[in-house]
Amino acid sequence: MTDSTSPVRVAVTGAAGRMGRMLVAAVAGRSECRLTAALERPGASVIGMDAGVLAGCDPAGVTVGDDAAEAFAAVDVVVDFTTPEASCAHAAAAAKAGCAIVIGTTGLAPEQHGQLDVAARHVPVVWAPNYSVGVNLTLRLLAQAAAVLGDDADVEIVEMHHRHKVDAPSGTALRMGEVLAATLGRDLDVVAEHGRWGRTGERGRDRIGFHALRGGDVVGDHTVVFAAEGERIEITHRASDRMTFAAGAVRAAVWAAGRVPGRYDMDDVLGLR
């Protein structure tokens, strides 16, 4: 366990990216933790820069490096919003170094989740498709609505993100689908329907539709439509600032430091399980 009187030592990977800079700023905004390391890929132009200055904050006294093994050996927890391949490599490095890791990367394949499971045998691994407190409360509301409405309502999930997002549907939308399918007793792999084109035939009553919109600088909008005969219920979460996600991830990092090894998510962090 970490010393509860000392700030949690945090490393941020992908420190030059949009989320990386937000994470550095979020760590700077919490007294329970301190930035100890910041990483970028080898050869990046920002290597050697002060991570705080890079993030638009006061100088952090931490320069951006590229040696994950060295950095992870000096911290309590790593926060990683990079790519599936990099996140898996960082999880393995964290397991070897003995530090916790909080991952917000989406688009992981099943075998990559398996790699996180391997790391979780040795250290705490927190993975969530969305670290917004509001999104995780929304997931609870969706489960309640699905339990009440059952098969009387058709379910459609609509999400929109900025033009730069590379995976679709979003990890949050997929998580919403998983929650809905589990509540309704359905197999999401069987009932998921991703967009529609041409003569699709009548909509199956058990289907869960996904629709991904991309454009502009939209941070993240998610709406679940429950369409019944004579009425429609829509549950929506809109994010207007990425700091929402960064703040939740840093909250998870503080929570994860010193935990026993295992796979965790935001339900664990927020005490909702």
| Residue listed under structure tokens 């002060």 | 50
**Set 96, 122, 162, 165: catalytic member:** 165
In 3D space, the residue among 114, 104, 97, 95 whose CA is nearest the CA of residue 261 turns out to be 95
Q: Which letter, b or e, does each residue of 186-221 get, where b requires 16 or more Cβ atoms within 10 Å of its Cβ?
A: bebeebbeeeeeeeeeeeeebebbbbbeeeeebbbb
Rounded to an integer, what distance in angstroms lies between the CA atom of residue 138 and that of residue 109? 25
Given the residues 90, 161, 211, 237, the one annotated as active site: 161
Do 107 and 166 touch, CB atoms closer than 8 A? yes
For residue 110 the two structure tokens come to: 């099943």
Q: Residue 272: what residue type?
A: L
161 noted as active-site residue: yes
- Which positions are annotated as active-site residues? 161, 165
